[in-house]
Amino acid sequence: MRTRPVLVYDGDCAFCTTSVTFFERHLRIRCAVTPWQFTDLASLGTTRQRAEYELLWITPAGTVHGGAQAVAKLLLNAGKGWAWLGGMLTLPPFRWIAHGVYRLVANNRGRMPGGTPACALPTERRAGPRPTE
């Protein structure tokens, strides 16, 4: 059994990679961080389809949180000043607003700073070798 949470992101997306690098550098998160392309998703209790769709936070017990709630869990894990923000993102109406903002950003990540046109492509249409399930 894992002893630390796992943060799973899209390693082919420059915006996602830049965002995760920021989290690692500035939030002092205490978790394993891995792109889904190099992860045994089944062993984490999730699927490729879900990992392609959203950021994932997987607890040591195997609970999978996605999207804005994964961000909330990440912030809670960071402690200090970030934990209050993470806590707020778990409560209505902030939870609903966070979900909408997350989907807006995720659906437009190819247009975001650090993003590339490849970020907007479905995985099967991106350049380079594709992972197997």
3-state secondary structure string across the chain: CCCCCEEEECCCCHHHHHHHHHHHHHCCCCCEEEEHHHCCCHHHCCCHHHHHHCCEEECCCCCEEECHHHHHHHHHHHCHHHHHHHHHCCCCCHHHHHHHHHHHHHHCHHHCCCCCHHHHCCHHHCCCCCCCC
pTM: 0.85
According to the model, what pLDDT value does residue 99 have? Answer: 98
According to the model, what pLDDT value does residue 14 have? Answer: 87
Half-sphere exposure of 105 (CA within 13 A, CB side): 17
According to the model, what pLDDT value does residue 36 have? Answer: 96
Instruction: List, run by run, the mean pLDDT of 10-residue segments along the chain (133 residues).
Output: 93 90 90 96 96 96 97 95 95 98 91 66 51 47
According to the model, what pLDDT value does residue 128 have? Answer: 47
